[in-house]
Amino acid sequence: MQFQKEVEISAPREKVWQFIWDVDRFISCVPGCKDAKTIEEGKRYTATMVEKVGPFKVEFPTMIEVIEREELSRIKAQASGADNKIGSRMKVDLDVSLRTQDDKTILGFVAGVDILGKLAALGHGIIKRKADQVLDEFAQAVKQKLEGDS
Amino acid sequence: MLRRFRLEEPDSVAQVSELLGRFGDSAKVYAGGTELLLAMKEGLVRYERLINVKGLNGLSEVAVDNGTICIGALCTHRQLETSSMLQQKLPALVKLEQNVANVRVRQAGTIGGNLCFAEPHADPGTLLMALGAKMVAEKSSAKREIAAEEFFVDAYETSLEADEVLTEIRIPTPGANSRSAYLKFGYLERPSVGVALALTVNAGSISDTKIAVGCAGPAPRRVAEAEALFDGKGTQEAMRNLPAAGVIAGRAAEAISDLHGSQEYKEHIVGVLLKRAFQSLVS
Amino acid sequence: MSKAMSRQHDAQFIPVSFTLNGRSQEIEVEPHELLLDVVRDRLGLTGVKRSCDVEVCGACTLLVDGRPVSACTTLAFEVRGRSVLTIEGLAENGKLHPLQQAFIEHGGFQCGFCTPGMILAAKALLDEIPNPTEEQLKHFMHGNLCRCTGYKKIIESIMAAAKRMRSKA
């Protein structure tokens, strides 16, 4: 599943860039994400993703790895996790970009999300909708946190 | 093979409510089990306790109470499909129930369980919405009625509170010139698109239109915008509005592309079913 | 040692008194046990089959109080106080039930895997509607799948059995 989101943030680029690397605050913007930990500064992090669709709940202990980094403009990362209780695996390829437009920063991300295993039985459509919701809420939360600060 | 769980067999709704409140997410109401046990077998959900509600009295009757048709939540689909009273007053519902899954599922599965599990690819909710049904939710201390439009929140999610039990479905008896139809389409085990239409025709003029679409999206939805294209119109004008109504209803379904079909395909089928439903009611 | 014992104490056993093919049975089951497993593994009646495991194919059809259920998705304790009929219980004193006879005479089965479920479902149909139309038959039998026969012979067999059963009645 592919997703593309863009959000306009009334904050300078440097501030947005810094915010991304402030792992605790950044992770807290992802709905259902908690317990963010830095394993290797700038390179490896862990967190727990908890998502619920009706009675179906998944808990993915997630490993996040930063693959590429272009100062102030681009991050390529990969997140993966498995919920052994339910028998499902998750993999996300994330491409985050920053660009300036007038005096605002456009934060864009392209996410390739793969859910494998039992959870897929729920139906591709339901999962896609949920993932879309999560990414939307994430983008809005980042915008609010950054704009609220000034 | 199912994981071990503890069976609770309360004999009152208040007890069920109390158990749900006490054990929260680790307990679940169990009636026919036709959806729940499947999810448990797949390992998609786990419960420490199942609360068998089949022992509760008075929840498996079909009756008329002062002009309101009351269907107990524990009525099986089979009971509803063979009810002569329902055949008389709500033939569209009987036809729907006759075509739920297969005879074994209809034998065990309850209407209450169907509504509460809120599987997107299901029939009853859509028609009940077009019939103006209200769901009665009870807990230890209180009882309330939830309009069908507010009952279905999202895929597998209803507006029932954690310790509430669905006990009854109440449907106003349709008036003399009121008609309803439910049409569905699907070639997989579960329905892919469902459309319900209810309206009153008086001297060539249409009123009280209710349109609901289900199965295509995460939950059944009323489509007021499409209803407006029929209400207060003569039958000829309404017929001319059918294509537009179909497009509106298709979009309102919030169709999801999945194995049942693409979003565009489902939206198109909604329009087709709406047209056929209308033609079956207004000849 | 103590772990196994405490598990025994924790386990919940439900006494199930029921009639199986006309004879009384008394067993104890845990809540999570499925009827299909109890009938096949514990009671040794393997006519009922596990096939799709999701209530769709009908190979696990059993009659409980004369009504068809999916044994694969029925908890065993649910038959307490009820009568259960499996395919093994259909023949009486070695004499085949008219449905069984008809399936043989009319070629209503090939590999036979769906057949126990098919015949039991047909029995439930004919007990409810002794003279069904083909539409009624197909509607009732909709949930019993066959990969071999293409259904024509199954329909013929059931109709033939229905006719014979009506003439006897």
- In this predicted model, what pLDDT tens digit does every residue of B16-60 receive, in sequence order? 999 999 999 999 999 999 999 999 998 899 999 999 999 999 999
Neighbours of chain C (3+ CB pairs under 8 A): B
Q: What is the pLDDT of residue C2?
A: 43
Cβ-Cβ contacts under 8 Å, B25 against chain A = 57
Crossing angle, helix C98-105 and helix C152-168, to 10 degrees?
Answer: 140
Whether residue C3 is predicted with pLDDT greater than 60 in this model: the reply is: no
Are C138 and C115 in the same domain?
Answer: yes
For chain B, say whether C56 makes contact (Cβ under 8 Å). Answer: yes
AA identity, residue A109: F
Q: What is the mean pLDDT of chain A?
A: 89
Q: What is the pLDDT of residue A122?
A: 66
Fold observed for domain A2-149:
Alpha-D-Glucose-1,6-Bisphosphate; Chain A, domain 4 (3.30.530)
DSSP states along A116-148:
EEGGGGG-HHHHHHHHHHHHHHHHHHHHHHHHH
Per-residue pLDDT band at C8 (split at 50, 70, 90): low
Are C77 and C38 in the same domain?
Answer: yes
For chain B, say whether C132 makes contact (Cβ under 8 Å). Answer: no
Residue C32 to residue B3, Cβ atoms within 8 A: yes
Give a yes or no: residue C2 inside a domain: no
- Three-state secondary structure along B206-219? EEEEEEEEECCCCC
Could you tell me the two tokens for C146? 């066959």
Could you tell me the two tokens for B33? 């089990």
- Three-state secondary structure along chain C? CHHHHHHHHHCCCEEEEEEECCEEEEEEECCCCEHHHHHHHHCCCCCCCCCCCCCCCCCCEEEECCEEEEHHHCEHHHHCCCEEECHHHCCECCECCHHHHHHHHCCCCCCCCCHHHHHHHHHHHHHHCCCCCHHHHHHHHCCCCCCCCCCHHHHHHHHHHHHHHHHHC
CA B257 remoteness from chain centre: 22
CA distance A123 to B252: 20
Pinpoint the alpha helices (H) of chain A.
13-21, 23-27, 124-149
Pairing assessment for the beta strands A56-70 and A74-83 based on DSSP bridges: antiparallel
Whether residue C1 is predicted with pLDDT greater than 50 in this model: the reply is: no
- In this predicted model, what pLDDT tens digit does every residue of B94-150 receive, in sequence order? 999 999 999 999 999 999 999 999 999 999 999 999 999 999 999 988 999 999 999
For chain B, say whether C169 makes contact (Cβ under 8 Å). Answer: no
Are C105 and C151 in the same domain?
Answer: yes
- In this predicted model, what pLDDT tens digit does every residue of B226-279 receive, in sequence order? 999 999 999 999 999 999 999 999 999 999 888 899 999 999 999 999 999 999
Of the residues C49, C66, C89, which one is the last residue of a structural domain?
C89
pTM here is: 0.93
Give a yes or no: residue C8 inside a domain: no
Fold observed for domain B6-52:
3.30.43
Count of all residues that appear for chain A in the document:
150
Cβ-Cβ contacts under 8 Å, B103 against chain C = 68, 121, 124, 140, 142-143
Whether residue A58 is predicted with pLDDT greater than 90 in this model: the reply is: no
For chain C, say whether B39 makes contact (Cβ under 8 Å). Answer: no
User: CATH number of the domain that C26 lies in?
Assistant: 3.10.20.30
Whether residue A126 is predicted with pLDDT greater than 90 in this model: the reply is: no
Residues 6+ apart with CB under 8 A from B81: B94, B97, B98, B100, B106
Are C84 and C114 in the same domain?
Answer: no
Selection from A74-88, A109-123, B19-33 with the highest mean pLDDT: B19-33
Burial of residue B37 (CB within 10 Å: 0-12, 13-18, 19+) is buried
Q: Do chains B and A touch (3 or more CB pairs under 8 A)?
A: yes
Give a yes or no: residue C133 inside a domain: yes
Per-residue pLDDT band at C9 (split at 50, 70, 90): low
Whether residue B65 is predicted with pLDDT greater than 90 in this model: the reply is: yes
Domain B62-172 CATH assignment equals 3.30.420.40? no
Residue B108 to residue C139, Cβ atoms within 8 A: no
Give a yes or no: residue C7 inside a domain: no
Backbone angles phi, psi at A10, to 5 degrees: -80, 75
Residues 6+ apart with CB under 8 A from C86: C20, C21, C39, C45, C47, C48, C62, C116, C120
AA identity, residue C48: V
Whether residue B188 is predicted with pLDDT greater than 70 in this model: the reply is: yes
Residues of the domain holding C49: 13-89
- Chain A nearest-CA residue for B157: A54
Are C64 and C35 in the same domain?
Answer: yes
Cβ-Cβ contacts under 8 Å, C34 against chain B = 1-2
Of the residues C89, C124, C150, which one is the last residue of a structural domain?
C89
Fold observed for domain B181-281:
Enolase-like; domain 1 (3.30.390)
Neighbours of chain B (3+ CB pairs under 8 A): A, C
ipTM over 0.90? The verdict is: yes
Give a yes or no: residue C111 inside a domain: yes
Tell me the nearest-neighbour CA distance from B149 into chain A, angstroms.
18
Residue C30 to residue B4, Cβ atoms within 8 A: yes
Could you tell me the two tokens for B213? 């679409």
- Chain B nearest-CA residue for C120: B104
Are C56 and C29 in the same domain?
Answer: yes
Tell me the nearest-neighbour CA distance from B218 into chain A, angstroms.
7
Domains of chain B, by residue range, sit at 6-52, 62-172, 181-281
Residue B257 to residue A125, Cβ atoms within 8 A: yes
User: Domain tally for chain C?
Assistant: 2
Of the residues C58, C89, C120, which one is the last residue of a structural domain?
C89
Tell me the nearest-neighbour CA distance from B212 into chain A, angstroms.
20
Cβ-Cβ contacts under 8 Å, A129 against chain B = 155, 218, 256
Do B123 and B208 form a contact (C-beta atoms < 8 A)? no
